[in-house]
Structure formats: C-alpha cells, structure tokens
Amino acid sequence: MKYLSEYRNLEATKTLLNELHKITTKPWNIMEICGGQTHGLVKNGILELLPENVRMIHGPGCPVCVTPLNLIDKAIELLEQGVIVCSFGDMIRVPGSKKSLLEAKALGGDLRILYSPIEAVSIAKNNPDKEVVFFAVGFETTAPANALSVLHAEKEGVENYSILVSHVLVPPAMEAILDDELCTIDGFLAAGHVCAIMGIQEYYPLVEKYKIPMVVTGFEPLDLVQGIYMTVKQLEAGKYKLENQYARAVKEEGNTSAINVIKTIFEVGSREWRGIGEIPNSGYVLKEAYKKYDAETKFGIENIKVPENSKCIAGEILRGIKKPHDCSEFGKTCKPSNPLGAPMVSSEGACAAYYHFSNNTI
Ligand code: SF4
C-alpha cells in the first residue's frame, strides 16, 4: 500500500477484524504503548469491535501524562523568576501542584507556545537581557529536535538559553511494567514513531528476556488492527518474536542522524515518571559538557518536590492496572475543561480519549 488513506480503509479493516475473531481462542491482554495508539483505538471504535477475549491495556506512552508534577512546578517557578519559558502547547494546561503554566501566564509570566525548540533559541538571541528556557518534554521522538536546539545555541554563541529536560525512554518503561507483580500483559504493540527514530534493536532483548511478543505498530485503524492480529497470531501459536507492522516508516537501525544528534548532548540517566516513580536508566540527561544548558542547575531548582494529587490514579492507568472508568473522579470532578491529572489534558491521554470517544462499555 502507498497512501495513508489505504490504512484507513473500512473494508480492509473489517476483513482483518473478521480474521482476528476467527483466530482468537483464548483470553489475551495486549498493551499498546503509545497514547497516539490509544487515541486511535478509542476514537475509531476499535475496542468495541475486538473479540471479547482480546483486552487492550493502555500504556504510558503519552509524554504529557508521564511528566512528573514537580517538573510543571519547576517550569512555573522559572516563570515566577522572570524567565521566558517556551513550551509545546499540550503542556500548558497540565495542572501543577497549585496552578498550571497557563494560569501562571495569566498572572504575568512570560510563557511562549512554540512549534519548534529552535524558535526558542531565536527568542533568546533577540532578548539578550532575559533568560530563555525551553520545556524539553517527551519520549525519544522529541529528543532530536530538543538536542538540536542546544547545538544551535552553542553554534550561535547564545548563552541565555537552556532546557528543562524531562525526556523518558520507552524500553525501560516496558521493562518496569513487565517486572510489576500486578502485570497481566501477554503482548505489546510497540510505538511506531519511537521506533522510526530509535530503530527496533533495543526490543529484541526484551522479547527474549520476558518471552513476550512485540509488534511495532502504526497509528491508523488498519495499522492498529493488523498489529493486534499479528500479536494474537503469535500468542495463539505459542510464539514470541519481534515483528514490524510499521515497516513503511521503521527501519531496523532507525534514523541514525537523529540518534547521533541525541547522543551528542544526552546520556541515559534515571528519570521520574508521573505516578510510577523513578525508573533507573529510563530517560535522557544532559552530558557534562552541556550542563551549562541545564535549566535545573542554572536556576537552582533541582530540589523542588511535590506530592501527586491523591485522587488521581494516573499511575495505575499508566501501568495498565486500571482503566479511566475505574477512577472515581472520571467525568465528575475531572473533565478536559477541569483536569485533575495529565491523562485528562493531553489529546494522547487515556482519560481524555475515553471522555471524548468512549461509550462507557470498554
Ligand atoms: S480521570 Fe482525572 S483524576 Fe482520574 S486518573 Fe484520569 S486524570 Fe487522574
């Protein structure tokens, strides 16, 4: 197939769903890692069309959802110190412990919403008497552009630019989920866009260690159904291997230019995940040679710590232990217009996807 529309073809999707029903004989729990996949499954009504025995568990792959509360408070602290804080739009409504970035902007903070971190370097260049920080959030997918902004600032000699880093990595999170004693996952749909950057080589050891099928999967309806079909086919046959459903975008070795940019400024270090806690070697931190671009060190905000909202069960949802409907606040005190937790804010968040598209039967 050549065109995106072909991956949205209703008849082809229905045919594959029928095949999936025919081959499914036992109950299987499959986790889709990425919030974009969750959104695609819920929005397209695929969850209701799956065999009763196939249960999808929604994974932690939403960058907004996994960014810890204290990082939001750190960005707000920078705004209150008079720093120009730049961010992608999806972070600005996420509640911190007292307010969101948007509310801090309403109180006078200089918050800029950007489409690219390179724009933040230009803002720093044009405002030499101000400090400018980019809120560098996300998985492996956004890391290359954030890394490039630092290299660009270095090349241009821009000293008043730094980044507030909250980059997390998918494979260590999968490992932490699989090690959880409450884990019931039989197979994974790995995140196609992460693998488009990083390749698929990191996943072979996980498949072997946990003897679990993984299928790198895209985001369109046919992609998702095909990824589930390939996973169930392996499970029903008692096999476990890594397969690539998203071969039109994912190469074995990934995007080597992007990986090289990441490796130039970042190294792997421990990271805190919202609702999950610290996972060793689960994120990127700036290398020593680039520490001067680290906003946390530059502004002395490393030690800001705040407890999560006790009513929000985002951590259990992100680990696949509970679903949004299991939260007592879902649709009552917590709605997209008044979110208590990040999964209700982001368009990739499971709670927001269920709120907008689910009919409460899944
Ligand atoms: S519904 Fe709201 S409070 Fe409940 S888990 Fe989702 S974001 Fe948190």
Q: Is residue 183 part of a domain?
A: no
Q: Tell me the β-bridge partners of 167.
A: 138, 284
Q: Is residue 108 part of a domain?
A: yes
Atom of ligand 1 minimally distant from the CA of 327: 4
Question: Which H/E stretch holds residue 283?
Answer: strand 277-286
Q: Is residue 32 part of a domain?
A: no
Q: Is residue 149 part of a domain?
A: yes
What's the CA gap between 173 and 330, in Å, rounded? 25
**Quick one: pLDDT at residue 65?**
85
CB within 8 Å of 5: residues ≥ 6 apart? none
Q: How many other C-beta atoms lie within 10 A of the C-beta of residue 15?
A: 13
Residue among 67, 151, 159 at smallest CA distance from 117:
151
Range of the domain at 287: 66-169+255-298
Dihedral sign computed on CA atoms, order 331, 332, 336, 342: negative
Q: Do 198 and 167 contact (CB within 8 A), yes or no?
A: no
Q: Whole-prediction pTM value? A: 0.90
Atom of ligand 1 minimally distant from the CA of 343: 7
Q: Is residue 101 part of a domain?
A: yes
**Quick one: pLDDT at residue 277?**
83
What's the CA gap between 310 and 316, in Å, rounded? 12
Average confidence (pLDDT) per 10 residues, the chain, 362 residues? 82 96 98 94 94 94 87 96 95 89 96 96 98 96 97 98 96 92 94 97 98 97 97 98 97 97 97 85 96 97 87 86 92 90 84 82 48
Q: Do 54 and 23 contact (CB within 8 A), yes or no?
A: no
Residue labelled with tokens 């990595």: 169
Q: Is residue 177 part of a domain?
A: no
Q: Is 57 helix (H, G, I), strand (E, B) or coil?
A: strand
What's the CA gap between 172 and 168, in Å, rounded? 9
Q: Is residue 239 part of a domain?
A: no
For ligand 1, mutation pick of 94, 310, 327, 332 (most atoms within 8 Å of CB): 327
**Quick one: pLDDT at residue 160?**
98
**320-331 as b/e, with b when 16 or more CB fall inside 10 Å?**
bbbbbeebebbe
Q: Is the CB of 311 under 6 A from ligand 1?
A: yes
Q: Is the CB of 188 under 6 A from ligand 1?
A: no
Q: Is the CB of 65 under 6 A from ligand 1?
A: no
What's the CA gap between 23 and 26, in Å, rounded? 9
Taking the centre of ligand 1 as the mean of its atom positions, its distance from the CA of residue 345, in whole angstroms, is 9
Please give the tally of structural domains in the chain: 1
Please tell me the residue having the least CA distance from ligand 1 atom 8: 312
Q: Is residue 29 part of a domain?
A: no
Residue labelled with tokens 């259990």: 316
* DSSP state letters, 125-191: HH-TTS-EEEEEEESTTTHHHHHHHHHHHHHHT--SEEEEEEEE-HHHHHHHHHHSTT----EEEEE
Dihedral sign computed on CA atoms, order 11, 13, 15, 21: negative
**Quick one: pLDDT at residue 3?**
74
**Quick one: pLDDT at residue 1?**
67
Which CATH number covers residue 278?
A: 3.40.50.11740
